[in-house]
Amino acid sequence: MSRAALALAWLACAGALAGAARAQTPAEQVARGVRAYRDLDYDGATTILRAALSMPGSALADTDRVRALVYLGASELYRDRRDSAAALFGRLLRVDPRYHIDQLVFPPEVTGLFQQVRLVTRAVAVVAPPVTELHAAGDALPIMLYATTFHSVDVAVLRPNGVLLRTVYQGSVGDSLQVRWDGRAADGNPADSGHYQLEVDSRGADGRVVHSVALPLDVSRVRRDTLALPAPPDDSLLKPEQAPGTSGLRALVSGFVTATAVAVLPSLVAGRASASADRFVVAGGLSLAAILGFRAERRPQPIPANIAANRALQAAWQRQADSVHAQNVARRQEVRILIRVGAARVVGAP
């Protein structure tokens, strides 16, 4: 068979493989390419895996994409296309900088090339908790960076319009590094509620940005609810502060009896000729005193012990109310920051 006929046959076979692959799910297609690699059919594995990777981005899960890239890179290496294999390994590391090739699955020539590519590929994976609440001094959103190799990175929080809000970190990263953002802008004030973006730029040896990862941040400023004031003491807890008065008749009768006695017994009051006038003055005074005593005894009488107990109860309630008021003032001034983190995505890579 001529070389042209062989080429046409190979193209027909590749077309048939690609057609069959299109009938499968993305995960099944990747699994089929892996089986072809293990059967030493590197040409077939390359065709199937490239078809899987050419599908729309949402069709292939990241785990399947990484698996397809590593097996495709190994297949290309065995097809004597070392540069293509290195490019695929670099692409894999930009998708998942934390990936480490399994030395029990792949032979030394594959793992050796992968490690060489890792040393020259500058990229980071960014991981943060999905929800973080900052409510005290020192609280911050922890952000883990996982790097392919030692290099310089810039970590910054950007406003929705792309303007810098706060530089979080500038420096080197090795295997991993934790940086923290306290939810504040560069001026030290809490960030306003809104959508922000944490961006991590990896820089090459010449200082240029060679890889960028973005992490969406949704920031909410939340004020604490105020406390309800304590209810005043119930009337049932208060003791009566006054005792009911008497009829006052005893004081009135006693006063009038005394006044009458003074009036009719002038010799007991004065021995002078003018004693008659004096005894009537005294009698009038006693009568007035009797009337006043009558009115006083009819009025309710205070109970000092009960009054003191009620004042103590009211003072205790007032102290509680003042304490709650002070706490509410502090709560109104206190601002909590709630940060929700979205899925990381690569926003710039060669």
Q: What is the pLDDT of residues 227-245, one digit of tens each?
A: 888 888 888 788 887 776 5
Q: What mean pLDDT is predicted for residues 53-67?
A: 82
The beta strand positions in the chain, using DSSP E, are 124-127, 131-134, 141-147, 151-158, 164-173, 176-181, 194-203, 209-223, 242-243, 301-302, 335-341, 345-348
Q: What mean pLDDT is predicted for residues 134-156?
A: 93
| CA dihedral of residues 104, 116, 143, 161 (deg, nearest 10) | -130
- CA nearest to 185, candidates 337, 331, 334, 330: 337
- Predicted local distance difference test score (pLDDT) of residue 269: 47
109 and 11 both lie in a single domain: yes
Residues 175, 147: contact at Cβ < 8 Å?
yes
- Predicted local distance difference test score (pLDDT) of residue 306: 79
**What's the mean pLDDT when you consider all of the chain?**
82
93 and 46 both lie in a single domain: yes
54 and 157 both lie in a single domain: no
64 and 84 both lie in a single domain: yes
- Residue 46: pLDDT band (50, 70, 90) is very high
- Residue 178: pLDDT band (50, 70, 90) is very high
Q: Which of 120, 147, 168 is the last residue of a domain?
A: 120
Q: What is the pLDDT of residues 256-287, one digit of tens each?
A: 556 565 555 555 444 554 445 555 555 555 55
Q: What is the pLDDT of residues 327-350, one digit of tens each?
A: 777 766 667 899 999 999 888 666
- Predicted local distance difference test score (pLDDT) of residue 265: 53
Q: What is the pLDDT of residues 71-88, one digit of tens each?
A: 999 999 999 999 999 999
158 and 95 both lie in a single domain: no
161 and 300 both lie in a single domain: no
Residue 229 lies in a domain: no
Number of domains in the chain: 3
pTM summary value: 0.62
Cα distance between residue 12 and residue 120, in whole Å: 38
- Predicted local distance difference test score (pLDDT) of residue 56: 72
Cβ-based neighbours of 37, under 8 Å, separated by 6 or more = 45, 71, 74, 75
Q: What is the CATH number of the domain that holds 130?
A: 2.60.40.4070
187 and 157 both lie in a single domain: yes
Cα distance between residue 165 and residue 345, in whole Å: 20
Cα distance between residue 321 and residue 141, in whole Å: 36
Q: Which of 65, 88, 120 is the last residue of a domain?
A: 120
253 and 279 both lie in a single domain: yes
- Predicted local distance difference test score (pLDDT) of residue 303: 81
21 and 103 both lie in a single domain: yes
Residue 301 lies in a domain: yes
- Predicted local distance difference test score (pLDDT) of residue 129: 96
Greater model confidence, 257 or 303: 303
Q: Examine the pLDDT at 223 and tell me if it is beyond 50.
A: yes
Q: What mean pLDDT is predicted for residues 141-162?
A: 95
160 and 243 both lie in a single domain: no
Greater model confidence, 159 or 136: 159
185 and 161 both lie in a single domain: yes
Which residue range is the domain that position 269 belongs to? 235-333
- Residue 93: pLDDT band (50, 70, 90) is very high
